[in-house]
A = this chain, B = another copy of it.
Amino acid sequence: MQVYLIRHGIAAERRTYADDEQRPLIDKGRDKTTKVANRMLANGLKFDLILSSPLVRAYQTAEILQQVGLAKTIKTFEPLKPGGEIEPWLQWLQTCQLKNPQGKLALVGHQPDLSNWAEILLGGSVKNQMVLKKAGVIGIEIPQIGIPIARSTLFLLTSPKWLIT
């Protein structure tokens, strides 16, 4: 099973909204994210499902992925909020994997959480050694059976500049 961890696009500056969760993507962020999404589609990628942080900037990113045709369905997933732990997702995954062991899943969220999760899947602990830019993508293959922690493999890590021409 392949998991693509996708960071939200460029959003309005911090402190420009009373509620940080409401900060939306700015035009530049929408534009870059759309180009990244179209590039993924052009490369034949499709997701069985997008799980998104409920925060506006993340959910808008997920909607762009959906709108270009990368996935039919978005589900908000609370543990993808900033500071969320990976454990609830691992529990969710056990059910998901049983249904579709060959599936492709997108997780849309925030930093440093996404690279933290990736590092846990790869090595079992957070090391702060992966750089994930806004609208950047991490691709991880998780094993079909058993706990994926420290047993997954990394096949993609890129900033949007390598996906946009």
A residues with CB within 8 A of B = 39, 42-43, 122-123, 127-131, 141, 152-159, 161-163, 165
Contacts and interface: CB of A to CB of B under 8 A. Distances in A.
Give the oligomeric copy count.
2
A124 to B, nearest CB: 10
30 contacts: A42-B165, A43-B161, A43-B162, A122-B127, A122-B129, A123-B123, A123-B127, A123-B129, A128-B153, A129-B152, A129-B153, A129-B154, A130-B153, A131-B141, A131-B153, A131-B154, A131-B155, A154-B157, A155-B159, A156-B157, A156-B158, A156-B159, A156-B162, A157-B157, A157-B158, A158-B158, A158-B162, A162-B162, A162-B163, A165-B165
Contacts of A163: 162
Contacts of A123: 123, 127, 129
Contacts of A130: 153-155
Contacts of A162: 39, 43, 156, 158, 162-163
